[in-house]
Amino acid sequence: MKIGIIGAVAGLCNGLFGSGGGIIVVPSMIYLLKVEEHDAHATAIAVILPLSLASILIYFTNNYFDWNIVWKVCAGSVLGAGLGARLLPKIPVGILSRIFAVFMIMAGLRMLF
Amino acid sequence: MILFLIGLASGIVSGMGMGGGTILIPALIFLAGVPQHLAQSVNLSVFFPASICALWIHTKNKHVRYKLALKIIVVGVVGSLIGSVIAVSMSTQILRKLFGVFILAMGVYELFRKTNDKDKK
């Protein structure tokens, strides 16, 4: 039952907002299903991949897809992911995630008003 | 060039284990002028290459609980299809406002979440 609700909420967000599946799946696996944190992060990736594939299929068939943007962002993001993993032990994650949180709140407010 | 730099920044963030997409989508919209729906589809696509690599490594290290994943996926895929159909049938303005509420909530959650810096080291 819990698993079904987690899947439904994560799926709906993944499709509707094109993001946020992981932000839902990871904490709900940790707190509701008592999965160990490292396993939760790893399992979340296995979950989000097919969900994103399903979502992108709908976006693609409705012409919301642009290779020209995708490959440029992709190139940067792959490079950045490697860099980020290497930087991780050297940075105060707690402070940085607070800074990002403020950015998200500002972006959210700007989209609303 | 701006697209590459936005990708780089969001890649660094997600490489550090923080939601890259919630940063990437607003960055594409505000800095590169990408429309809402397209920004969302870019984020969905960009997820694949890095996460396939990550999944491969996590699988080798036996951290992926595939049985549990499969159960979540079965319901999740149906949710994704429904969510996407709703998204593509929405106007840009309405989707943008909904997305605004979503990242506002995620931002507030992230701001007050207990972080365990000791675990990361």
Which ipTM did the prediction report?
0.90
Q: What is the DSSP string of A9-23?
A: HHHHHHHHHS--HHH
Are B79 and A15 an interchain contact pair (Cβ–Cβ within 8 Å)?
yes
Q: What is the pLDDT of residue B116?
A: 57
A6 and A29 Cβ atoms separated by less than 8 Å: yes
Q: What is the CA radius of gyration of chain A?
A: 16
Domain identity same for A2 and A49? yes
Q: Look at residue B23 and tell me whether its pLDDT is greater than 80.
A: yes
Are B41 and A64 an interchain contact pair (Cβ–Cβ within 8 Å)?
yes
pTM here? Answer: 0.90
Domain identity same for A7 and A25? yes
Domain identity same for A82 and A42? no
Phi (first) and psi of residue A98, to 5 degrees = -65, -40
Domain identity same for A61 and A73? no
How is residue B30 written in tokens?
A: 């505000």
Q: Where are the domains of chain B?
A: 2-120
Closest CB to B73 among A50, A84, A110: A50
The residue count of chain B comes to: 121
Are B69 and A21 an interchain contact pair (Cβ–Cβ within 8 Å)?
no
The per-residue pLDDT of chain A, averaged, comes to: 92
Q: Which residues contact A102 (CB under 8 A, 6 or more apart)?
A: B107, B111
Nearest C-alpha neighbor of A70 from the set B104, B49, B110 = B49
The DSSP element (H or E) to which A95 belongs, if any, is helix A93-112
The per-residue pLDDT of chain B, averaged, comes to: 89
A96 and B69 Cβ atoms separated by less than 8 Å: no
Q: How far apart are CA A110 and CA A104, in angstroms?
A: 10
Q: How far apart are CA A24 and CA A34, in angstroms?
A: 14
Q: What is the pLDDT of residues A70-96, one digit of tens each?
A: 999 999 998 988 888 788 788 787 888
Q: What is the pLDDT of residues B50-68, one digit of tens each?
A: 888 889 888 999 999 999 9
How many structural domains compose chain A? 2
Q: What is the pLDDT of residue B121?
A: 36
Q: What is the pLDDT of residues A7-34, one digit of tens each?
A: 999 999 999 999 988 889 999 999 999 9
Q: Look at residue B83 and tell me whether its pLDDT is greater than 50.
A: yes
Domain identity same for A8 and A39? yes
| CB of A99 less than 8 A from some CB of B | no
Least confident of A74-88, B28-42, B88-102: A74-88
**Domain of A99, in residue numbers:** 66-113
Domain identity same for A7 and A61? yes
